[in-house]
Amino acid sequence: MNQAASENSLHASVSLAMELIRCPSIAPEDGGAQSILKNRLERAGFGVEQIERAGVQSLYAESGNQGPLMLFAVHSDVVPPGDVCDWTSLPFQPEIRHGLLFGRGAADMKGPLSCAVVAAEKFVQEHPDMPMRIGFIVAGDEEPANNHGTTDVLQWLHSQGKKVDYCVVTEPTSAERFGDTIKVGRRGSINGHLTIHGLQGHAAYPQHAVNPVHRSLWVLHTLAERNWDEGDAHFPPAGFQITNVSAGTGANNVIPGRFNVSFNIRHGPSLTVEKVESLVKDAMGMAGLSYELAAKSDAIPFLTEEGPFTELCSKAIEEVSGLRPDPATGGGTSDARFIAPHCPHLVEFGLVGKTSHQVDEHVAVTEMEQLSEVYGRMLRKLAGYVEGQ
């Protein structure tokens, strides 16, 4: 790539990101972000299918007419900005200060998504006979808990008989420095809810009551301290966190009759929801209290095994950033969890995510230029690999 082209791609990715940041796309609203991306991808020769379900706009775009499908999975929505008075500049008015682009979504993920769009535009233009197809899932609602943008688009892909061969999710994965981390898997997430029954009574006459808080605190402590799994080469040990507790009638002279406890476990492949249920039941059995337990898995863990795809992605990152990225599986969940079961080769790579979801979210403009270059190199290397197959 010559210098002029590289400057063009910097300008293009940053100005696209700024255009998108101006759209207050807090799901289910999209603030115009979807139509900007639709027009942009259509102009680059992508066929675009808009998918609207439950008031949420998402889209699928594809270019190329042969070979395996390489998918960029992105989302156009952002988390709410909170109190705008806490921001140095307004969250939906992008601003570049001291080489940093500020605005809601700069890191997660309007910046990285713009880098992917610009890299793909350029690649498609320069390789009209490319040996693969390039696709985009642009989900309209990745951030809310009950998101379905990506799953709706995947359903549509399935109905069209399309299968995903390779996928790059553009979540902000870099930890401290751009290029230091590539995600090759994600932990699973299990949510549980316990209702522990006691016997309500007068606080002055505890002999006539059973306090479910007193009777179960030590059991909850045991659950919080236990080893849920050992972890392995790819996954850290599972972690248990109590996320919500409630008890009491609101009166300060009443022993509560019921104690509600919610918990969350982030885990690797060796832990299942069935195993969690059985271990919690064993512990609760020791307290001798009646209880109800409901647990469900909100994300199944996945791992992309090391191979040519992870290697070419890591190499592209190393060539541009000078860092060999650490293949990691930590952090929260992303829409990768929905795509991974349908795609054998999936990685996540994006900008430094430190300010994601924060006030004054920002990214370095030079790192956006680098990211666009990384995505471009990933496409070129993958095309070379596919051609050599």
- Give me the active site residues, please: 77, 142
Q: Please identify, among the stretches 42-50, 168-176, 245-253, 286-294, the one whose residues bind Zn ion according to the rule CB under 5 A.
A: 168-176
In the complex, the smallest distance separating the C-beta of residue 278 from Zn ion, rounded to whole angstroms, is 34
The residue among 123 and 136 lying less far from Zn ion, judged by its C-beta, is 136
Q: Which of 30, 62, 77, 108 binds Zn ion (CB under 5 A)?
A: 108
Question: Shortest Cβ contact with Zn ion: which residue?
Answer: 108
Residue 225: how many other CB atoms lie within 10 Å = 8
In the complex, the smallest distance separating the C-beta of residue 222 from Zn ion, rounded to whole angstroms, is 35
Q: Please identify, among the stretches 31-39, 86-94, 109-117, 198-206, the one whose residues bind Zn ion according to the rule CB under 5 A.
A: 109-117
End-to-end CA distance of the chain: 25
Alpha helices by DSSP H, listed for 266-358, are: 273-287, 308-321, 336-339
In the complex, the smallest distance separating the C-beta of residue 79 from Zn ion, rounded to whole angstroms, is 9
The residue among 170 and 310 lying less far from Zn ion, judged by its C-beta, is 170
Cis peptide before 132 (omega within 30 of 0): no
The residue among 162 and 354 lying less far from Zn ion, judged by its C-beta, is 354
Q: Determine if residue 32 is left, alpha or beta; phi over 0 gives left, psi from -120 to 50 gives alpha, anything else beta.
A: left
Can you tell me which residue has the tokens 């997430």? Answer: 189
The residue among 94 and 201 lying less far from Zn ion, judged by its C-beta, is 94
Q: Please identify, among the stretches 23-31, 169-177, 228-236, 315-323, the one whose residues bind Zn ion according to the rule CB under 5 A.
A: 169-177
Residue 109 binds Zn ion, judged by CB under 5 A: yes
Task: Show the tokens assigned to 271.
Answer: 């832990």
3-state secondary structure 215-279: HHHHHHHHHHHCCCCCCCCCCCCCEEEEEEEEECCCCCCEECCEEEEEEEEEECCCCCHHHHHHH
In the complex, the smallest distance separating the C-beta of residue 280 from Zn ion, rounded to whole angstroms, is 31
Site residues for Zn ion per CB under 5 A = 108-109, 171
